[in-house]
Amino acid sequence: MLVQICVTVLTTALLVAAACYTESPPEQRWWAGGNVVTCVGLALSSMVTLPVLIHGVLGYGVIALGLGLVLRGLRVHCSATLSWTFIAALVGIALLIPAYFTLVAPSLRARLCFSGFYFAILNWMCAVVVARHGVWRVSGISLAGFILLGLALFLRGVHMLLHTDPADTTSSLVMGLSTLAIPLAQICIAFGLIQMVMWRYAERLRRLSTLDALTGALNRAGLEIQGKRVGLRALRAARSLAVIMIDVDNFKVINDTHGHPVGDEVLRHLARLVKLELRPHDLLARFGGEEFVLVLDGVNLAAALNVAERLRARIESEVVELDNLSVRYTASMGVVCSDEHSYDLIRLISAGDAAMYDAKRAGRNKVIAV
């Protein structure tokens, strides 16, 4: 019991420390608050010198509240929520049934069985949320912790149900194993929850470092990283690799005439139109200013020309609206393919850039392939 209390306090302190900074995500605060409340509930339920309504009833309700807050934090982490009505129902069940076995039909055995089964179910509910919405390689530690903790509590409930004397547990193998499993599970849960948040921050940093903030397309660094992978994949499979260079015609005139906010909206609009043509393994990058790169895996020159011509016509027919302004624009495109050039993405982009400038010199709003 002392080891369990110490581990509970330490893991709670770890979660509280992780949540105590201004930029911490809300789920961390729910997890930390839930663990603090659970610690209070465990302390109340272990103080048998207090009136039975406190350690035998109120303590269980406080533990249920803590687990409900942890469950709410998990739901928030998964871009969902958990209503306070549902949490109140969890706490109400944890109060009413022990109160029945304390005041109406006094039974220590029944109360202990209920606590084992009920808190096992709450931990498994947390495990279900993690399993349904988490990334396995990241959330596996916390998932294993919730499952293990629920299993340990469930086995305790089974032991109390079958054992004739719930006070005589010192020689029980089940109780010994559950006593060992509970602190191990708590450590797994605490570190797993922190790892889930760290992974999400790492993903945000990765997106910030590889995506263009204005359009959501890849930036040049992202294009370099992912473009190499696409090129190698196409080379190994002996598939064609096409590159379409796209540049907005007279973009400086748009900025000078209507202002930079309208110019920014034109770039966002163009990116949205191009993304409609993308397949899951294609790439779109903002190469600089008003210039974009579209990398198509498994597309030959003729098919890439069809894509570019379809994009050009669609851009020409669209209208960008912002603040009661309606702006039309066009784009010039250069198309190249690995069948005529190499699989080296830098060379393809250079050749596509030259073709795009040929399209501009030919009168703009054209598609030229080389």
Whether 290 is a known active-site residue: answer yes
Burial letters for 97-128: b for 16+ Cβ neighbours within 10 Å, e otherwise?
bbbbbbeeeeeeebbbbbbbbbbbebbbbbbe
- What is the bridge-based pairing of β-strands 331-337 and 320-322? unpaired
Beta strand spans in 17-168 (E): none
**Two tokens, residue 356:** 């795009």
Catalytic-role residue among 290, 318, 321, 340? 290
Q: Provide the residue type at 284 as one letter.
A: L
Q: Are 356 and 339 in contact (CB under 8 A)?
A: no
Fill in the DSSP letter of residue 329. -
Q: Are 154 and 127 in contact (CB under 8 A)?
A: no
Residue 293 bridge partners (DSSP) = 245, 285
**Two tokens, residue 284:** 């779109």
**Two tokens, residue 36:** 């603090």
C-alpha distances in Å from residue 83, one per residue of 73, 91, 123, 154, 325: 11, 13, 18, 26, 43
- Nearest alpha-carbon partner for 73 in 47, 102, 37: 37
What whole-number distance in Å separates Cα of residue 4 and Cα of residue 23? 31
Fill in the DSSP letter of residue 276. T
Q: Which residues have C-beta within 8 Å of that of residue 23, sequence separation ≥ 6? A: none
What are φ and ψ of residue 326, in 5° steps? -120, 120
- Tell me which residues are annotated as active site: 290
